Structure 1
Amino acid sequence: MRLLVVEDDDGIAAPLVSGLRREGFEVERVATGADALAAAEPDLVLLDLRLPDTDGYAVARELRARSGVPIIMVTAKGEEVDRVIGLELGADDYVVKPFGLRELVARIHAVMRRVAEPGRGVAADAVVTVGPLTVDRRRHEAALAGAALPLTPKEFALLALLASDPGAAVDRRRILEEVWGTRWYGPTKTIDVHVSSLRRKLGDPGWIETVRGVGFRLRAP
């Protein structure tokens, strides 16, 4: 697995990169946001928020605009608002310094499992069709009227969850558990952000209905 470590502090980056390589990862380290955006796309990005040329939020926003690469934000900031902003920008997890290597490695594997989850353990229902919408969990692809939808990993996971039982209401807690992992039980505004993005990409807000006080459901408009 190829990791991109975006960290400007040599004292933190050197042992981190060394430890990750001992764990079997292929690691590239850069120290600026510009270099992060210029690097070849890895399998996962470990992104520090405090960078010399920009902040990690801007880097995450640009990465997410052009790619579905999983992002774990690594920072000294630990306030809830920082976590919410990071998750709303599309980060898959958030680790606060100081952290142990074992914890970080476990989070990396957990994120990669969640990204791959829609394609695992499915057979007859691997492909779900709801009107002109097709969700292929095995291929991790979605298409509307035959046109591929450019979804991020989180957007696909959310769509696949809603499509697993079209018309049924899926509550927010289940969405958080299955799409964002069981560790995050903070404010659920990030779900609304991803639902809004999905609605735009589907071209009609009627695809995803809000079930007041519960969550959301998918149905053909």
Structure 2
Amino acid sequence: MNKLQILVVEDDAPVRNLITTTLKAHKYRYLTAPNGESAILEASTHNPDVMLLDLGLPDMDGVDVIRKIRTWTNLPIIVISARSEDTDKIDALDAGADDYLTKPFSVEELLARLRVVQRRLAAMQGSQPAASVFTNGRLRIDYAAGCVFLGDEELHLTPIEYKLLCLLSQNVGKVLTHTFITQKIWGNSWENNIASLRVFMATLRKKIESEPSSPQYIQTHIGVGYRMMKVE
């Protein structure tokens, strides 16, 4: 399998060197950019597979870089930032980031996040346009028939639970914020439905998780949102 080409956007030289040394050791190809302007130029010129993006850049905020990048490409963007407040994470994810790592971070966690992206990209490249069945571990969703199965058992979901599950399944490995999910499910009335989202997510987990208190399919990012995990 070909390794990804990764654009590392980081103005702090020691951190940038740590990341690129890790990537090189694991045979990833990489490009570097020390600021937002060069990041946008490198992304548009070289079309990398993934961007690792620091938010605290010297010439512009990383969130603005995400918004500009999103005007022409959906390349996966993993934020690596010292900003640890939930509002910072939500701003970046709502702008279009796919994931968020807080400094200091472990290289093992970074590599794990990259593997998630790589699996998602491989699945997208290998999927057929007409495919209408999603499989993740024992979970299977037949989009065409509107049916959900756990193993051989058909699950009976409410319309909202089904829409939530489909939205998460179509974004495996990606953190979806409360705002993004509620806008997709309830539209303009989303502001009044964040509490409802938590209730529906709890009932959905009871139906698809063998241990709802230790979920394997749907991961909670407290104060931020939810992510469907890839189950081997």
Counterpart for residue 72 of structure 2: 66
Mapping 1:125-144, distance limit 5 Å? 126-127=129-130
Contact 1:3–1:26, Cα closer than 8 Å, also in 2: yes
Q: CA deviation at 1:25?
A: 0.5
Counterpart for residue 168 of structure 2: 176
Amino acid at match of 2:41: A
Q: Find the aligned partners of 2:91 and 2:163 in 1 and give their Cα distance.
A: 22
Counterpart for residue 11 of structure 1: 14
Q: CA deviation at 1:29?
A: 1.0
Q: CA deviation at 1:88?
A: 1.2
Q: CA deviation at 1:115?
A: 3.5
Name the count of aligned residue pairs: 169
Mapping 1:128-207, distance limit 5 Å? 164-165=143-144, 169=159, 170-172=162-164, 175-176=167-168, 179-181=171-173, 184=175, 187-192=177-182
**Cα 1:6–1:194 shift into 2, 3 Å:** farther
Q: Aligned-pair RMSD on alpha carbons? A: 3.6
**Cα 1:119–1:29 shift into 2, 3 Å:** closer
**Cα 1:162–1:37 shift into 2, 3 Å:** farther
**Cα 1:62–1:2 shift into 2, 3 Å:** same
The CA deviation string for residues 134-170 of structure 1, in whole angstroms up to 9 with x for no partner, is x8x9xxxxxxxxxxxxxxxxxxxxxxx9992366742
Counterpart for residue 111 of structure 1: 117
Q: TM-score, normalised by structure 2?
A: 0.61
Q: CA deviation at 1:92?
A: 1.0
Q: CA deviation at 1:9?
A: 0.3
Q: Find the aligned partners of 1:45 and 1:195 in 2 and give their Cα distance.
A: 29
Amino acid at match of 1:97: K
Q: Which runs of 5+ in 1 are unaligned?
A: 129-134, 138-160, 200-211, 216-221
Range moving further from structure 2, 52-61 or 168-177: 168-177
Contact 1:84–1:190, Cα closer than 8 Å, also in 2: no
Amino acid at match of 2:180: T
- 1:24 equivalenced with 2:27 (yes/no): yes
Counterpart for residue 82 of structure 1: 88
Q: Find the aligned partners of 2:50 and 2:67 in 1 and give their Cα distance.
A: 15
Q: TM-score, normalised by structure 1?
A: 0.64
Identity level (%) = 30
Amino acid at match of 1:14: N
Give secondary structure in 1 for the equivalent of 2:93.
Answer: helix
Contact 2:164–2:185, Cα closer than 8 Å, also in 1: no
Q: Find the aligned partners of 2:9 and 2:96 in 1 and give their Cα distance.
A: 17
**Of 62, 77, 99, which residue of structure 2 is paired with 1:93?**
99
Q: Find the aligned partners of 2:184 and 2:67 in 1 and give their Cα distance.
A: 14
Mapping 1:198-217, distance limit 5 Å? none
Q: Find the aligned partners of 2:92 and 2:145 in 1 and give their Cα distance.
A: 30
Contact 1:88–1:193, Cα closer than 8 Å, also in 2: no
